[in-house]
Structure 1
Amino acid sequence: MSDRFELFLTCPKGLEGLLIEEAVGLGLEDAREHTSAVRGMATMETAYRLCLWSRLANRVLLVLKRFPMKDAEDLYHGVLDVDWQDHMLSDGTLAVEFSGHGSGIDNTHFGALKVKDAIVDKLRTPQGDRPSIDKLNPDLRIHLRLDRGEAILSLDLSGHSLHQRGYRLQQGAAPLKENLAAAILIRSGWPRIAAEGGALADPMCGVGTFLVEAGMIAADMAPNLRREQWGFTAWLGHVPALWKKLHEEAVERAAAGLAKPPLWIRGYEADPRLIQPGRNNVERAGLSEWIKIYQGEVATFEPRPDQNQKGLVICNPPYGERLGDEASLLYLYQNLGERLRQACLNWEAAVFTGAPDLGKRMGIRSHKQYSFWNGALPCKLLLIKVLPDQFVTGERRTPEQRQAEREQAAYDQTPNEPQERKFNKNGNPIKPTPAPAPVIEQPRLSEGGQMFANRLQKNLKAMSKWVKREGIDCYRVYDADMPEYAMAIDLYHDWVHVQEYAAPKSIDPEKASARMFDALAAIPQALNVDKSRVVVKRRERQSGTKQYERQAAQGKFNEVSEGGVKLLVNLTDYLDTGLFLDHRPIRMRIQKEAAGKRFLNLFCYTATASVHAAKGGARSTTSVDLSKTYLDWARRNLSLNGFSDKNRLEQGDVMAWLESCRDEFDLIFIDPPTFSNSKRMEGIFDVQRDQVQLIDLAMARLAPGGVLYFSNNFRKFQLEENLAERYAVEEISAQTIDPDFARNTKIHRAWKITAR
């Protein structure tokens, strides 16, 4: 065999430039870039060194042969022509990977099969021995790449992908591959910072991939030092003595690196479930003395070991997968920016993000950006120098102020040097006056964000007297007042519930997203609430019972007050919160009229109207709903107010329940869904179609002199005219709209119905 070989090093898309620098440094000659690969010439020693030391490659492929091919027969004979007895035993195992198409081969499985057949036929013995297939741990892994009519046949020296270092047996929901994490660290300048003795901190470390890769770089550890199985282990061309020499050299370098005083490398993770897996990964990598992981939120992140230590803050914030993640992600980036400005002055920072627009919300400029791919997702690496003149704040500074800040920052970055000491007349040294700490300001809102904040504050002020007079602490403060900011914002005591209306298809998604972020940035400042108490959901056209379906599973209830009663709301788990704010006037009317009466609440949901009736002195309340979940919630609402007695909860289909009921009631409230097709009910309920039957059944249960209130929020609903022929029907919609819904008078319609 030749002393020099052609190698192909594959890598994730976007890492080619970094990989060619690394590979040349490790001995690759005549190197050239390809898409997701680097090609060059190397000795066997260099090939082994690349396997052991490449932090960026996926695979190291040793090219066995190149040949032209026009069809499947050319493929078969080209592979058959290789002296396979020089590479593997006749009873060995192999796996074949095929990439590309053309030359009559459009199916990679068929192409791989032809390659396998040729190898097996070449090695088949007269006794019938032949290689077998093992896709998991073969003796040889063969790769054939078809590129514009040329077949490139290679032996995979790496075996399993080189990004699999072996330390990360436990991982989080969406971890970075190890070689991508290493590339990000290299682009961020970590090798330079580590050589200068700098620190590293990751405030969202997950299971510690950045930390371990950074530790291995700093300690001069070969990334694949601990790998036991290689693609060349059973290869007949393997040179064990040469491999042993290189491996021993890497072991010695790692031992020397780990013997140095460890750098300060720390990770912080909010999810307690990831702390121990992260620590286990660090221990498997042999870096427990260098790396520590703690539980902590980004908002309280404090990276500095001491005032003089500088280094790199690096992180990969979550990208967001569920509707409503926009708020938590925006505030996460804002918190990150605040902590950088407050606790990391003169550090460097690297933020790897799949949402670059959110990176602009940190309140600090990036001086350089690099494009990467995380799988199929385009991402950006934002590099930041945490210096005052990079802060985006609410105060505009003069050029003189900016220059003074730059000079102060430059002074802070200079090494400690002996300074001239001054003494007072008694001969005692005078302590120098420390430079004042920089004032950290809130990021300035965009023009649109400030306009939105002004509207919120105006609405809040306009409703303040009414809210105080009525004794309520949950109400709507904004409802698409400005068409370009299409959302509803409700206050629930000291929480904010935001419902984003889906933008029309005619609106540019990027503009809609930018406006959403502007609004979310403005909400905490305008309403004076903590960012962690803003919950965002997207409201789209609903069908069936979708609005009642569970969206999350946090199970957190908040207590709010209204008209002297306490009610429980859940702001996170469902599209609706358990309290329809627009029905407040009807609930208050029921409370005033309920004294001594038997109250029936149909489609009761969480029975908030029943709580008001009980508060008003109802003789009894009966609440009917098909959902056990909401009846349990209703029971909690009643118990919270001390109304457990004489308040009945009935699970069942309302129509069927009314047909079987023989009781009388003095006051009835019906707020049906627009449409329902629950598996627990017979047929399908449609409020427009079934209104007459529903109202007739309910009126049959109404005692003489009783009142039925009927309401629903179906925008196209029309009450059947013939109902007015049998009953006294009065529309009271205008009387059931409070000031917080005055901008949206079509939120519901309501009628008062009595017997003639």
Structure 2
Amino acid sequence: MSFETTENVYFATCPKGLEGLLATELQQLGGTSIRETIAGVYFEATLSIAYRVCLWSRLANKVLLPLGNFQVKSQEDLYEGVRAMPWHEHLSPTGSLLVDFVGTNDAIRNTQFGAVKVKDAIVDLLREFSGGERPSVAKRDPDLRVNARLSKDKAIISIDLSGESLHRRGYRLKQGSAPLKENLAAGILLRAGWPEVAAKGGALLDPMCGSGTLLIEAALMAADIAPGLLRVSFGFERWLNHSKDVWQDVRDEALARKEAGLAGALPEIRGYDADVRVIRAAEENIVSAELDHWLRVSRKELAEFKKPTHTALEFGLVISNPPYGERLGEVESLKILYAHLGERLRNEFQGWQAAVFTGNPELGKQMGLRSDKKYKFFNGTIASELLLFSIDSVAFVQSRVAQDARFGADVEERQKAEEQIAVENREQQAADLSNGARMLVNRLQKNFKQLDKWARKNDIRCYRLYDADMPEYAAAIDIYRGMAERGREEQLYVHVQEYAAPKSVDEDRAAQRFAEIEAAVPFALEVPASRISYKQRRRNKGTSQYEKVSERPQGDLITVVEGSSRLQINLWQYLDTGLFLDHRPVRDLIASKARDQRFLNLFCYTATASVRAAMAGAKFTVSVDMSNTYLNWARRNFALNGLSEARNRLEQADCLRWLEENTQQFDLILLDPPSFSNSKRMEDVLDIQRDHVALIHNAMRALSEGGTLIFSNNLRSFKLDNDALSAYEIKDITAQTIDQDFQRNTKIHQCWLITH
């Protein structure tokens, strides 16, 4: 048979979901009689077209030349069926072969056994044909690669013309943790309409580019470069029916098209990633693809993602394959990451197109954009979706993150109704107030008038309003101006935390006073009950020290702004909200010192100080805490600001042990330990008065020359051991870290700067 001039049936395999695109591509490359099936497409072509498909297909994994098929109901059926084929026309008896076997049935239950049977049949036939010579088995770079597929009782035996899978272009020297295969990346670009965008001069930007696969595939398309040109070899090159002349013509044409494509003006293609390691990998891959004169990548957090300013980019395609997460903590923070990506698109790229490929389609619902189209793909075995968006105000929707867990889309109407009822009932409420409650109302209104003016002048959204100013009403009352995940505008929230009453106070009287606080707060501040959190510390019978805090769901989280950072607080589920208000001046100090500094945050809690440092330009941050709950909360805080963990590392560890084992140096350290801790995860009990000297010594070992340690704690009776720490310069800055809202309680914390 003359393969060079005759049209034969070929089979091109591909990832599931790309069959339709591959069929179109094969038709464009000259194939005929095209027929789609699962994970592949049959087509008829001459040898020249088959070579062209091997060189030019952006979507296929393999190009197979079927030699025949037969029934397999026993091991002998497989052996005899393969042996009946004319292998002397395809492989020299002195050559080498490799068999890929896929599938099983009742007779062939093991693919390795099936591969051996096929190999034995070919070797035995060629040994008889040659009078004794037999081909060898080569696991790498064989002269002939044979593909055997067994489905139910039918075997299809083919010559593998491609050799290694065609998705291995040859340019990817390094890769990130979850790389896209090159042909899947090409399919995503085609579905996203990149060729049409590029033809109109549009740009392509990838804010989370990883090792650069989408960028490189986009450039190969835009420059009309055959993806197989960088491959070292193909499976057909030592096949006995290979035509070197035909192959050379196909290759020469591709080289000429590449030269012409690169001579023209290529569209702007840029990639960014927060992880400098994958950016380095992307740079190496781009150089390997010979595209380093046209593609640019740089380290950039998602928070900084916007249209490049060096050139006027009027329209284009933003494309990305963000992480999709496997653990619960990851997924929760990734919801915020996707919401932040949607925010960047809405704020910076109106009039553009966007394509987001995700293995967790639910995350795409967080973006606040209505998708135009969705395409299903498989990333390996992971069912995935490609979401396409036209970034226009008509497509803007409230993200799933922004929907209330219990009340749905009607929550704002519900709140307005509550507020209206509160206004209508105000006169009755005033009449119902006790004398003590009226006194508390007057104090709260007086404080609010003074402090709110100060807070607004200093752009402070969260502050302490009242701190047991009237001893009989012993509570801390805090104001939080923020936006609920279900809301669309900033609102005022109140956090009320009762101090534990002394044993001398009758429990009934303590309960009555707390009821008066509950009556006074909404009246004084004109805030509906749904935006007030009460936490009551009370002596209880049994083993519980305090009554259980609110069961209000995690969905009722509030986002507040401090400096240039957005931080997530939870007013309902824990005694503390996730943001220590008294440390606001300390966080401001950290932000003022953080630029280009290596920042360490010990006992980091929800890492609000680390977020402030990162947003202020820290070189990197490391945050250490034992609580996985708090570290997942920290992840959400970083994601909320478009900050990745690539340069903001979170460590779950006992800070005492971590410091002892640490060998890294830092320029700025925050050491803010609890007064006492006997957590089960700690090897020792922490008593800050007893242990602070050793703790500071270990922290100072991690502090660079010229660096600063900020040491703080909240133990009222704490005394710093200056004699034991005489080797260091120590400056008490407590007074400077007590803001106006804490002037009534200046013993809320103590703070020092410590240097070498």
TM-score (norm 1): 0.60
Shift of 1:392: 1.7
1:603-647 C-alpha deviation (Å, 9 max, x unpaired): 8959886225799xxxxx999xxxx99x999x9889997437689
1:156-176 C-alpha deviation (Å, 9 max, x unpaired): 000000000011111000000
Which of 239, 260, 271 is equivalent to 2:243?
239
CA distance in 2 between counterparts of 1:70 and 1:359 reads 48
Note closer, same or farther for the CA distance 1:45–1:341 as it changes in structure 2 (3 Å cut).
same
Note closer, same or farther for the CA distance 1:643–1:13 as it changes in structure 2 (3 Å cut).
farther
Which of 605, 610, 613 is equivalent to 2:687?
610
Q: What's the counterpart of residue 192 of structure 2?
A: 188
Q: What's the counterpart of residue 295 of structure 1?
A: 299
Which of 202, 209, 222 is equivalent to 1:205?
209
Q: What's the counterpart of residue 102 of structure 1?
A: 105
Q: What's the counterpart of residue 167 of structure 1?
A: 171
Q: What's the counterpart of residue 139 of structure 1?
A: 143
Shift of 1:517: 14
Note closer, same or farther for the CA distance 1:344–1:45 as it changes in structure 2 (3 Å cut).
same
CA distance in 1 between counterparts of 2:387 and 2:175 reads 24
Q: 1:533-612 alignment to 2 at 5 Å?
A: 556-557=601-602, 572=631, 605=682, 610-612=687-689
CA distance in 1 between counterparts of 2:389 and 2:230 reads 34
CA distance in 2 between counterparts of 1:517 and 1:186 reads 46
1:465 aligns with 2:542: no
The answer to whether the 8 A contact 2:560-2:568 is kept is no
Which of 2, 17, 20 is equivalent to 1:14?
17
Q: 1:245-324 alignment to 2 at 5 Å?
A: 245-305=249-309, 306=311, 309-324=314-329
1:364-420 C-alpha deviation (Å, 9 max, x unpaired): 1111111111111111111000011111259xxxxxxxxxxxxxxxxxxxxxxxxxx
Query: Which amino acid letter does the alignment assign opposite residue 319 of structure 2?
Result: I
Shift of 1:466: 4.1
Secondary structure of 2:687's aligned partner: helix
CA distance in 1 between counterparts of 2:286 and 2:691 reads 59
The answer to whether the 8 A contact 2:476-2:496 is kept is no
Shift of 1:207: 1.0
Query: Which amino acid letter does the alignment assign opposite residue 180 of structure 1?
Result: L
Shift of 1:531: 4.7
The answer to whether the 8 A contact 1:524-1:530 is kept is no
Q: What's the counterpart of residue 53 of structure 2?
A: 50
The answer to whether the 8 A contact 1:26-1:50 is kept is yes
Which of 711, 716, 721 is equivalent to 1:643?
721
Secondary structure of 1:233's aligned partner: helix
CA distance in 2 between counterparts of 1:258 and 1:58 reads 26
Secondary structure of 2:365's aligned partner: helix
Larger mean CA deviation between 278-287 and 155-164 belongs to 278-287
CA distance in 1 between counterparts of 2:62 and 2:681 reads 62
Which of 77, 84, 101 is equivalent to 1:81?
84
1:334 aligns with 2:379: no
CA distance in 2 between counterparts of 1:622 and 1:292 reads 48
CA distance in 1 between counterparts of 2:479 and 2:143 reads 69
Q: What's the counterpart of residue 558 of structure 2?
A: 523
CA distance in 2 between counterparts of 1:249 and 1:461 reads 67
1:450-489 C-alpha deviation (Å, 9 max, x unpaired): 86999xxxxx999863499999999999xxxxxxxxxxx9
Greater RCO, CA 8 A, separation 6+: 2
The answer to whether the 8 A contact 1:368-1:384 is kept is yes
CA distance in 2 between counterparts of 1:518 and 1:359 reads 22
The answer to whether the 8 A contact 2:35-2:43 is kept is yes
Which of 383, 386, 391 is equivalent to 1:386?
391
Secondary structure of 1:249's aligned partner: helix
Query: Which amino acid letter does the alignment assign opposite residue 78 of structure 2?
Result: L
CA distance in 2 between counterparts of 1:230 and 1:602 reads 61
Query: Which amino acid letter does the alignment assign opposite residue 97 of structure 1?
Result: D
Note closer, same or farther for the CA distance 1:262–1:606 as it changes in structure 2 (3 Å cut).
same
CA distance in 1 between counterparts of 2:221 and 2:552 reads 37
Larger mean CA deviation between 604-613 and 154-163 belongs to 604-613
Secondary structure of 1:279's aligned partner: helix
CA distance in 2 between counterparts of 1:117 and 1:467 reads 89
Which of 71, 75, 96 is equivalent to 2:74?
71
Query: Which amino acid letter does the alignment assign opposite residue 280 of structure 2?
Result: Q
Shift of 1:110: 1.7
CA distance in 2 between counterparts of 1:385 and 1:169 reads 34
Secondary structure of 2:323's aligned partner: coil
1:214 aligns with 2:218: yes
Shift of 1:153: 0.8
Q: How many residues align?
A: 515
Q: What's the counterpart of residue 672 of structure 1?
A: none
Shift of 1:226: 1.5
CA distance in 2 between counterparts of 1:52 and 1:612 reads 72
Note closer, same or farther for the CA distance 1:531–1:235 as it changes in structure 2 (3 Å cut).
farther
CA distance in 2 between counterparts of 1:55 and 1:604 reads 52
Which of 359, 367, 370 is equivalent to 2:372?
367
CA distance in 2 between counterparts of 1:602 and 1:157 reads 63
CA distance in 1 between counterparts of 2:153 and 2:334 reads 48
Q: 1:679-690 alignment to 2 at 5 Å?
A: none
Shift of 1:228: 2.1
The answer to whether the 8 A contact 2:357-2:386 is kept is yes
CA distance in 2 between counterparts of 1:576 and 1:375 reads 35
Query: Which amino acid letter does the alignment assign opposite residue 266 of structure 2?
Result: P
The answer to whether the 8 A contact 1:606-1:637 is kept is no
The answer to whether the 8 A contact 1:473-1:560 is kept is no
1:667-725 C-alpha deviation (Å, 9 max, x unpaired): xxxxxxxxxxxxxxxxxxxxxxxxxxxxxxxxxxxxxxxxxxxxxxxxxxxxxxxxxxx
CA distance in 1 between counterparts of 2:35 and 2:195 reads 24
1:275-323 C-alpha deviation (Å, 9 max, x unpaired): 2211111111121222100110111101345555211000000112344
CA distance in 2 between counterparts of 1:38 and 1:275 reads 36
Shift of 1:262: 1.9
Which of 1, 4, 16 is equivalent to 2:7?
4
1:428-459 C-alpha deviation (Å, 9 max, x unpaired): xxxxxxxxxxxxxx9854464886999xxxxx
CA distance in 1 between counterparts of 2:269 and 2:326 reads 30
1:188-213 C-alpha deviation (Å, 9 max, x unpaired): 00011111111100000011100000
Shift of 1:100: 2.1
Q: What's the counterpart of residue 343 of structure 1?
A: 348
CA distance in 2 between counterparts of 1:20 and 1:238 reads 25
Note closer, same or farther for the CA distance 1:145–1:614 as it changes in structure 2 (3 Å cut).
closer
Note closer, same or farther for the CA distance 1:603–1:40 as it changes in structure 2 (3 Å cut).
closer
Query: Which amino acid letter does the alignment assign opposite residue 362 of structure 1?
Result: M
1:37 aligns with 2:82: no
Q: 1:610-629 alignment to 2 at 5 Å?
A: 610-612=687-689
| Root mean square deviation, CA, Å | 4.7
CA distance in 2 between counterparts of 1:326 and 1:338 reads 18
CA distance in 1 between counterparts of 2:496 and 2:30 reads 63
CA distance in 2 between counterparts of 1:643 and 1:19 reads 74
Secondary structure of 2:558's aligned partner: helix
Identity across the alignment (%): 42
